[in-house]
Amino acid sequence: MKKVLITLAIAISSLVSFAGEENVSKDVLNSFNKEFNGAKDVRWTTGSDFYKAVFVLNDQYITAFYNKDGEFLGMTRNISSLNLPLKLQSKIRSEYAEYWISDLFELSDNDGTHYYITVENADSKLLLKSSDNTEWNIFKKMTKI
């Protein structure tokens, strides 16, 4: 359930609507403050089963997700394609040379670090997910109108 929630909340975040600023439980705030001491400009929103914090830490924008009990589910940050592991950089260049990168982020959770990249051309848009930091798998394919 946790993997599905994070994957859907993050990879398809444009489809998820969040309410405005929310009251955040003490458990969630305690977990957040312990994990991200020194975070600035924290903004909280709530999904159906989780809290989302968007904040700045070490001059980077980060998004963290927690369940209602304050358990850390994962975090994301946008990165440059130059920050990808070398095998993933190479695969993008060779297998998706006819596409341009429109979005790229790193997802870190209890299961490790994964990368999601959106590549597109004039006709289609692909959301790819890294596998073992060596391969890309199509997570979602969209046709442009």
Q: How many angstroms separate the CA atoms of 74 and 32, rounded?
A: 11
> Residues of 55-86 as b/e, b for ≥16 C-beta within 10 angstroms?
bebeeeebbbbbbeebebbbbbeeeeeeebee
- Read off the pLDDT of residues 101-141 as tens digits, 9 standing for 90 and up: 999 999 999 889 999 999 999 999 999 999 888 999 999 99
- pTM of the predicted model over 0.85: no
Among residues 137, 32, 50, 34, which one has the least CA distance to residue 92?
A: 137
Domains delineated in the chain: 2-73 (3.10.450.360), 81-143 (3.10.450)
Token readout for 138 is 């199509």
